[in-house]
Chain A
Amino acid sequence: MNRQIVKLFAFIVALFAVLIGFTSYWSVFDAKALKEKNANKRPLLEQQQIKRGRILTADGTVIARSVPKGKGEALRYVRRYPEGSLFGHPIGYSFVQEGDSEFEQFHNDELVGNESEFSSILDELRGRAQEGEDIVTNLDTEAQRVALSDLEEAGFGAVVAIEPKSGRVKVMASNAPFDPNRIPYDLEELNENEIETPLVNRATQGRYPPGSTFKVVTAAAGLDSGAITPETTIDAPGSLEIEGQPLQNDFDKDWGSISLDTALTNSVNTWFGQLGEQVGEDTLFEYMDKFGFNSKPAIDLPSDQVLPSGILEGNTLLGPNDPIDIARVAIGQERLLATPLQMAEVAAAVANGGRLMKPQIWSRVVDPDGRVTQKLDPSEYSRPISEQTAEELTTAMQGVVNEGTGTNAAISGVTVAGKTGTAETPYNESCGGGSEENQAWFMGFAPAEDPKIAIAASVECTEQFGNDVAAPIFRDVAETILDGE
């Protein structure tokens, strides 16, 4: 019988090897996939037992913090947002049942203090519970407040303010806002609100026709590629036939032979339409790409919550080989759509001597003992234009504010460079279908000679023009930021 007993033992060994195999599979090899299963609430439940780090503005105002609830085994932390809806965008929310969004989602690892398995074992040996790290952002409390209250007066829309030298995002406001504290109670209602869409961050997900603000990109391509110089004149009649449709100036005004300064100051459509044709699809696309169009912005927000800007057929980005009307693209029409963040990046690139920095909301990560563990190291996204082109554009953009279409953006004692935009969006259902509705824009920076802030403001569904409704928002926000310097 002994032979059989040995064989039986061998069989038992095989059975136990299967057990070890399955245990290894679940606990190690398949663990990551299992943790992401919907039915698995364990990772979330465990996370709420960790004291999540705070999120602060640049001046130390608390945007988000975690408060304990219950004791002992039942201890858990719940997120609180003391500033309510002020920072609903871009900070987002984080709750066990409802999940997380925006900045809270992107920076989850730092906020919960996730580390490698090895260093968490060391922590365990030292008897340290996992604790999240605080994140200090670049956001400016006062400027954010001004931006949001101006927007609430003007209409739905967004404001983005970026420090040109570093890419630090100082303001990102979106109207309609939402109060993250209400998420556990109102998530469904907020999601279903298709008119206000309060959960959509319009700064990064609202794509609008940029109108005349885009003329800055066209001009940049013209100057930098050598197609024109600031002195080059182009004849700008009141109306031009392009692709079988008339392209008109405001009031069909015939400007005669003019150069860039006059054309930009007065936002002359026929001048820029011709420049666009002169520059050509390939070159214009090349410059658009360098300014950040046609790809998702390099900002610290989840990639499914930011949208690329560009020429869009439905949700598809068109390229230089697709049939497009380049003259109308050059003046910000056609199927061209841009997010407020994208236009703020254009302003920032011009302001920073042609160097576009990656826009970043976070500034530094601080551990529970107060040590700074990570610090934002500003990095360049691209160099779309030369320093000289940037200077020439700045001069032209100053004209817009001093004597052109954007005078309402002027700040006393400070030089301002900028560009207005008013894209007609008649019969737009999201605007209620009115015939006089516009998308109003202002994009610019100040002070012109040493730019501290670049801003884009955009207002939906307004019957007013960029200079009336968007330029004052730029002025208020820029003033607040410059006062705080």
Chain B
Amino acid sequence: MSARNRELMALVPVALLLTAGFAAVFAQENAKLDDASLIYGAYFFAVCLATHFYLRVRLPDADPYLFPMVALLMAFGLVMVYRIDADLARDQANWFVLGLVLFAATIHFLRDYDVLERYRYTIAVVGLLLLLAPRLPGIGQQVNGAYLGVKLGPLAFQPAEFSKICLVVFLASYLREHREVLIVGARRVLGVTLPPLKHFGPMLVVWGASMFMLVFIRDLGSSLMFFAAFLALLYVATGRFSFVVIGMAMFLVGAWFFASTVPHVHDRVEIWLDPYAHPQTTGYQILQSIFAQADGGLFGKGFGQALITIPGTDNALLPAAQTDTIYSLIVNELGLFGACAVVSIYLLFSARGFKIALLAADGFSKLLATGLTAVFAIQAFVIIGGVTRVIPLTGVTLPFISYGGSSIVANFVLLALLLLVSDRARREATAP
């Protein structure tokens, strides 16, 4: 069966799952089955079909499983967000469509994505400016002590989501050109293999600047994500595990420095270590996130059964349920099994992403696919790890599931780039 036919076959159960999900939520709310779930299912399927036909024409050889997996994550997200608030779900559906439009545009304009290499410094500067934007007077917005948002007239978005793609493109391109020198020029100093500073420098500047920006705008989640993506790419490009060790050491020093000097960072770590110290204030979110999971058990309470606000009031029982803690809500309503399903989808997505990198012939394609996949997987890890107390809780979105336009649109651009790489790699791999 051709790749695109497999994609089509995979989309059918996804649409059915979304329909069933909505049906379950309606059944819970009105104690009856509503044919609106069929209508939503049909819309969803139609949008997916349109995308599928577009891919059939433009990227016939691209990986057949990535888009259905993203559709599945979107279906999860739409149902969960709808269950929290129908109005939010309408926004989410609009962003889904907007995301697909940008997805199509990316595929249309970057069919020859090598062009990105030529503009790598421009892209790096754009990425840094995007990070700086929330701190600019007039357009910046502060939320919960972090400067995450930008508001331009009616348009509000979180630039860090787009910035991560810029950074990955820059790093992939830079490392493709300099990886040989980084390997060959490495010297051993005191038993540790150090990269040559001359070639390492520019990258260190870009990376250091982005890290500084993130601390400056207090977006810890994104900084963790960027850092991990950087190390992953550096490791794949050079094969030097010692570079990763040096990076980790640098990170620890930096983390210690920020944790002891920046109160915002310090607080996050304290809450993580002992959430029970202030259960009603600073520790509230992480504790409620864990309590919500404890309530889910193996099979969960079922769609629409979880308590999100304290009954009779508007006070949140699970703060930021539609964004940060949506994973805890999934555990609560769908149980450990539902959570395993979600984590498995991200894992399968990563597997397909790395498969593309393995298949790709040229260095830039390999590194681009690796970087995009790594940053996507790590984003999922940072937020799921945050709400399960593996690492300190920081506010990044759960890709394609959390409510939020920037996240969805940016991740569709990420998906478009991955499929572009995949299409070329698979065509070349199967060519005689």
B366 touches A1 (CB 8 A): yes
Would you give the shortest CB distance from B3 to chain A, in whole angstroms? 21
Interfacial residues of chain A within 49-107, with CB under 8 A of chain B in the complex: 49, 69-70, 73-76
B232 touches A19 (CB 8 A): no
Interfacial residues of chain B within 6-32, with CB under 8 A of chain A in the complex: 27, 31
Given contact pairs A5-B370, A48-B311, A76-B312, A22 touches B390 in the complex (Cβ within 8 A): yes
Pick from A6-14, A247-255, A357-365, A379-387 the stretch touching chain B.
A6-14
B377 touches A12 (CB 8 A): yes
Q: Please give the residue numbers on chain B whose beta carbons come within 8 Å of chain A beta carbons, in ascending order.
A: 27, 31, 232, 235-237, 239, 276, 279-280, 283, 287-288, 290-299, 302, 307, 309-313, 317, 331, 335-336, 339-340, 343, 346-347, 350-351, 354, 357-358, 363, 366-367, 370, 374, 377-378, 381, 384-385, 388-390
B311 touches A124 (CB 8 A): no
A35 touches B336 (CB 8 A): no
CA distance A42 to B287 in the complex (A): 11
Given contact pairs A23-B388, A69-B312, A8 touches B317 in the complex (Cβ within 8 A): no
A5 touches B381 (CB 8 A): no
Given contact pairs A4-B239, A5-B236, A69-B312, A30 touches B294 in the complex (Cβ within 8 A): yes
A187 interfacial by beta-carbon distance below 8 Å:
no
Q: Inside 8 A of A35's CB, which chain B residues have their CB? A: 291, 294-295
B370 touches A26 (CB 8 A): no
Q: Please give the residue numbers on chain A whose beta carbons come within 8 Å of chain B beta carbons, in ascending order.
A: 1-9, 12-13, 15-16, 18-20, 22-24, 26-28, 30-31, 34-35, 37-43, 45-46, 48-49, 69-70, 73-76, 117, 121, 124, 127
13 contacts between A and B (CB under 8 A): A2-B358, A5-B357, A8-B232, A15-B381, A23-B336, A26-B331, A26-B388, A27-B297, A27-B335, A28-B336, A42-B291, A42-B292, A48-B311
CA distance A74 to B350 in the complex (A): 41
A3 touches B239 (CB 8 A): yes
**Residue A26 contacts which of B294, B312, B347, B350 (CB distance < 8 angstroms)?**
B294
**Residue B310 contacts which of A28, A45, A124 (CB distance < 8 angstroms)?**
A45
Q: Inside 8 A of B370's CB, which chain A residues have their CB? A: 1, 5, 8
Q: Inside 8 A of A28's CB, which chain B residues have their CB? A: 297-298, 336
CA distance A289 to B37 in the complex (A): 67
Given contact pairs A16-B346, A19-B388, A70-B311, A27 touches B296 in the complex (Cβ within 8 A): yes
**Residue B317 contacts which of A9, A24, A42 (CB distance < 8 angstroms)?**
A42
Closest to B354 in A: A9
Q: Inside 8 A of B299's CB, which chain A residues have their CB? A: 117, 121
CA distance A48 to B310 in the complex (A): 11
A8 touches B291 (CB 8 A): no
Q: Inside 8 A of B310's CB, which chain A residues have their CB? A: 41, 45
Question: Which one of B27, B350, B363, B367 has the greatest number of beta carbons of chain A within 10 Å?
Answer: B350
Q: Inside 8 A of B343's CB, which chain A residues have their CB? A: 16, 19-20, 23
Q: Inside 8 A of B363's CB, which chain A residues have their CB? A: 1
Q: Inside 8 A of A46's CB, which chain B residues have their CB? A: 295, 307
Q: Inside 8 A of B279's CB, which chain A residues have their CB? A: 38-39
CA distance A404 to B357 in the complex (A): 102
B295 touches A9 (CB 8 A): no
Closest to A2 in B: B358
CA distance A3 to B241 in the complex (A): 12
Closest to A7 in B: B235
Sorted nearest first, the 6 A-B pairs with minimum C-beta distance are A39-B279, A34-B294, A22-B388, A31-B294, A26-B293, A4-B236
Closest to A43 in B: B295
CA distance A16 to B276 in the complex (A): 26
CA distance A252 to B339 in the complex (A): 82
Closest to A22 in B: B388
Given contacts A35-B294, A76-B311, 11 further A-B contacts (CB under 8 A): A1-B363, A6-B358, A9-B351, A16-B381, A20-B343, A22-B390, A27-B293, A27-B335, A35-B295, A39-B279, A39-B283
